[in-house]
Amino acid sequence: MAHELVEKKLAACVSIENEIKSCYRWKQKLEYEPEISLRIKTIDSRIEDIKEYFDNYHPYECPQLIITTAKIPESEYQEWFLDQVK
């Protein structure tokens, strides 16, 4: 997923975090499963496209997608970042 999100220019970068263990209730059953967390770095105008991508390709029936916003100051990094998601 990380590769495709960057390749399709939906994200400038995807950070893949170490495997984590999650405990949650799903369909009335307590689950304890390994998961991998992705930090998807993108712009507001790509969020709906990422949601659609998750709906179509994520293996979970109900994947977690949490959106936080950050302001990137004008810099070479900002230029590079914006160029990656155009």
Domain regions of the chain by residue span:
2-84
pTM across the whole model = 0.86
Quick one: pLDDT at residue 50?
A: 95
Residues in the chain: 86
Quick one: pLDDT at residue 67?
A: 87
**How many C-beta neighbours within 10 Å does residue 12 have?**
21
Report, at the CATH architecture level, how domain 2-84 is classified: 2-Layer Sandwich (3.30)
Two tokens, residue 82 = 């914006």
Two tokens, residue 52 = 């659609």
CA–CA dist 76, 66 (Å, integer): 27
Q: Say how far residue 54 (Cα) sits from the centre of its chain.
A: 9
Quick one: pLDDT at residue 82?
A: 93
Quick one: pLDDT at residue 71?
A: 86
Band the pLDDT of 86: cuts 50, 70, 90: confident
Quick one: pLDDT at residue 85?
A: 93
- 32 or 67: which leads in pLDDT: 32
